[in-house]
C-alpha cells in the first residue's frame, strides 16, 4: 500500500511514536479525505482495540509495535492491510535511488558515513531511525534524482512490501527476540530485505551461509570482508582488493568496527554505481554519533567514554577492541534479554591490558560469572546498584591513562527510558564523581 492510497480510508494508528506522529501530520496536510478512525496502544481495552481494527480499512503501526501481537495476526488473517509509515513511503517511491541500511549493530554509523560520502558526489537525504522520519520526504517520493539513505530496523523490515534499490546489512547477531519471538524469526525478518520487490543490489558480509545465499543471488551483489574486494587488512586499513583506500589514521572514527562501517559504506557506493569520492577528504568533519564510543569527560588522566548504544555482547567486544593498548574499566549490565555472555566474559578475562569490570543490574551478575569462569580476578570486579555507584567504583579502579567505558551489552529499559537517557546519566555521573 502506498501513502496516496490512504485517501478516503479509515485508518487505525497503533502507537503514536515519532513515525506515526509524522504520518498524522502528513495526512492532515496532504490527504484531507483520509480519516484516522482510532488511535490504540497496548493500554487500550482488548474489545475496543478489536472493534477498531474490525472497522478499519488499514492499520498503520509504530515500528515498535510487534506484528506478532495476537490482534495484529488476527487482523492479517482477515486481510486487513498492516503497514508502517516507512512502508507507505517506500511503496510510494518504488524503492528507486534508496539505499536501505540494516543490521544488528553499526547501521546508524554506516548510514551516517554513507550519507556524508554520497553528499560529496550527489544530492542525498538521511532518514529512518536516524535523521528524519522518511514519511516527511513525500515531496521526494517521485523525485528520483536525489538519493535517500534509509536506516531500517528489523521492526520496519518485517512487513515491508517494497524494498530499496540497494539493500545493505552490516552484520547479524542475536537481538530483539522479545519483539520477534525467537532468534530464527529475527534473522528471517532481517533477511527478507534481500527478497523484496525493487531490490536490485545487495551489500553483505561474508561468513554467514544464509546471508550469502539470499544476498548473493541478487545481480548487483557486493560482499565485504572479501580479500578480493572491500575488506580491512590486519592493520585496520580499508582495502579494495590489494589497493589501500584508507589507512587507519585517515579514518576519523575510533575502532576497527567503525573502519569496517566505512568500508561497508564504500561498498554501497559501488553497489549503487556511484563514483568513489575523494578520500580521505570526503570524511572530513565526521564525528562519532552520540552514545557510540563518544568521549563525554576527560579529567585527571581518565577518559570517560559513552557507548550506551552497545546493547549486545558482540558490540561490547568491538568497543573493547577499540581501546587496544589501554587499560579499561568496563561498566556493563542492563535489561535481561537472555543474551549469551560467554565470549564477552572470556574477552574481559583474557585482555592483555589491565581490565576491570563494574556491573549493573540485571545482567551484570551473569556477565561477572562469565568473566570469573575465565579467571578474571575478584579484586578487578565490582557490583553496583546504579550508575552513580558504578561510576564511583569505576574511578576507584581506574589508574592514570585509563578509559572508563560504558558499554552495557544489554538494553536499558530496566532502569531508563532508552539508551540515550542511560548515556546522559553516565556522562552526568562521570562529571560528578571526578
Strand partners, 400: none
Rounded distance between C-alpha atoms, residue 341 and residue 317, angstroms: 10
Residue 174 has pLDDT above 80, yes or no: no
Q: Specify whether the backbone of 136 is left (phi greater than 0), alpha (psi in -120 to 50) or beta.
A: alpha
Residue 400 has pLDDT above 80, yes or no: yes
Can you tell me whether residue 404 is helix, strand or coil?
Answer: strand
- Nearest CA-CA partner of 271 in 233, 210, 229, 228: 229
Residue range 99-105: mean pLDDT, rounded: 94
- Nearest CA-CA partner of 3 in 86, 67, 68: 86
Rounded distance between C-alpha atoms, residue 339 and residue 373, angstroms: 17
Residue 353 C-alpha from the chain's centroid: 29
Q: Percent of the chain, pLDDT > 90? A: 91
Confidence of residue 288 (pLDDT cuts 50, 70, 90): confident
Rounded distance between C-alpha atoms, residue 167 and residue 203, angstroms: 6
Q: Which residues contact 389 (CB under 8 A, 6 or more apart)?
A: none
Q: In what order do the strands lie in the sheet with 294-299?
A: 294-299, 302-306, 403-406, 328-332, 355-359, 381-383
Cβ 341 vs Cβ 409: under 8 Å: yes
Question: Mind listing the pLDDT tens digit for each residue in 30-84?
Answer: 999 999 999 999 999 999 999 999 999 999 999 999 999 999 999 999 999 999 9
Confidence of residue 105 (pLDDT cuts 50, 70, 90): confident
Can you tell me whether residue 31 is helix, strand or coil?
Answer: coil
Rounded distance between C-alpha atoms, residue 161 and residue 268, angstroms: 22
Cβ 424 vs Cβ 386: under 8 Å: no
- Nearest CA-CA partner of 302 in 425, 406, 434, 390: 434
Question: Mind listing the pLDDT tens digit for each residue in 311-367?
Answer: 999 999 999 999 999 999 999 999 998 889 999 999 999 999 999 999 999 999 999
Cβ 231 vs Cβ 225: under 8 Å: yes
Query: Mean pLDDT, the chain, as a whole number?
Result: 95
Question: Mind listing the pLDDT tens digit for each residue in 120-163?
Answer: 999 999 999 888 999 999 998 888 789 999 999 999 999 999 99
Question: Mind listing the pLDDT tens digit for each residue in 214-228?
Answer: 999 999 999 999 999
Residue 176 has pLDDT above 80, yes or no: no
C-alpha cell at 199: 531490490
Torsion angle of C-alpha atoms 212, 216, 218, 219, degrees rounded to 10: 170
- H/E stretch holding 72 reads helix 70-77
| pLDDT for residue 181 | 87
What domains can be seen in the chain, in order of their start residue?
3-83 (3.40.50.720), 87-283 (3.40.1190.10), 294-433 (3.90.190.20)
Rounded distance between C-alpha atoms, residue 237 and residue 86, angstroms: 35
Amino acid at each position: 500500500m502506498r501513502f496516496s492510497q490512504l485517501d478516503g480510508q479509515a485508518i487505525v494508528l497503533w502507537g503514536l511514536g515519532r513515525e506515526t506522529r509524522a504520518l498524522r501530520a502528513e495526512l492532515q496536510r496532504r490527504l484531507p479525505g483520509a480519516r484516522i478512525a482510532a488511535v490504540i496502544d497496548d493500554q487500550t481495552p482488548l474489545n475496543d482495540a478489536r472493534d477498531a481494527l474490525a472497522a478499519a480499512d488499514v492499520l498503520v503501526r509504530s515500528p515498535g509495535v510487534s506484528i506478532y501481537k495476537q490482534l495484529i495476526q488476527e487482523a492479517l488473517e482477515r486481510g486487513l492491510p498492516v503497514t508502517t509509515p516507512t512502508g507507505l513511503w517506500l511503496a510510494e517511491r518504488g524503492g528507486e535511488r534508496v539505499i536501505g541500511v540494516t543490521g544488528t549493530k553499526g547501521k546508524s554509523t554506516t548510514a551516517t558515513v554513507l550519507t556524508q560520502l554520497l553528499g560529496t558526489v550527489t544530492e542525498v537525504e538521511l532518514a529512518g531511525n536516524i535523521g528524519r522520519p522518511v514519511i516527511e520526504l513525500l515531496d521526494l517520493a517521485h523525485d528520483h534524482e536525489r538519493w535517500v539513505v534509509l536506516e531500517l530496523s528489523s521492526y520496519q523490515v518485517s512487513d515491508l512490501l517494497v524494498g530499496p534499490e540497494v539493500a545493505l546489512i552490516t552484520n547479524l547477531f542475536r537481538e530483539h527476540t522479545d519483539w520477534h519471538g525467537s532468534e530464527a524469526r529475527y534473522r528471517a525478518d532481517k533477511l527478507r530485505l534481500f527478497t523484496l520487490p525493487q531490490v536490485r543490489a545487495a551489500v553483505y558480509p561474508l561468513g554467514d551461509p544464509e546471508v550469502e545465499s539470499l544476498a548473493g543471488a541478487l545481480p548487483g551483489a557486493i560482499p565485504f570482508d572479501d580479500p578480493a574486494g572491500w575488506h580491512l587488512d590486519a592493520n585496520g586499513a580499508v582495502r579494495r582488493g590489494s589497493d589501500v583506500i584508507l589507512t587507519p589514521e585517515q579514518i576519523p572514527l575510533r575502532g576497527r568496527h567503525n573502519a569496517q562501517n566505512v568500508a561497508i559504506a564504500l561498498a554501497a557506493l559501488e553497489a549503487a554505481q556511484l563514483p568513489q569520492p575523494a578520500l580521505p577528504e570526503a570524511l572530513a568533519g565526521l564525528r562519532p554519533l552520540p552514545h557510540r564510543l563518544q568521549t563525554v569527560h576527560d579529567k585527571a588522566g581518565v577518559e570517560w567514554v559513552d557507548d550506551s548504544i552497545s546493547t549486545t555482547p558482540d558490540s561490547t567486544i568491538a568497543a573493547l577492541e577499540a581501546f587496544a593498548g589501554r587499560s579499561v574499566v568496563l561498566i556493563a549490565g542492563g535489561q535481561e534479554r537472555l543474551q549469551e555472555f560467554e565470549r564477552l566474559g572470556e574477552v574481559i578475562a583474557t585482555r592483555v591490558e589491565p581490565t576491570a569490570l563494574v556491573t549493573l543490574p540485571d545482567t551484570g551478575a551473569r556477565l561477572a560469572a562469565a568473566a570469573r569462569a575465565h579467571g578474571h580476578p575478584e579484586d578487578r570486579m565490582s557490583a553496583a546498584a546504579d550508575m552513580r555507584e558504578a561510576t564511583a567504583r569505576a574511578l576507584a579502579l581506574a589508574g592514570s591513562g585509563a578509559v572508563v567505558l560504558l558499554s552495557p551489552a544489554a538494553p536499558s529499559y530496566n532502569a531508563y527510558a532508552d539508551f540515550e537517557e542511560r548515556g546522559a546519566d553516565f556522562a552526568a555521573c562521570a562529571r560528578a564523581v571526578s
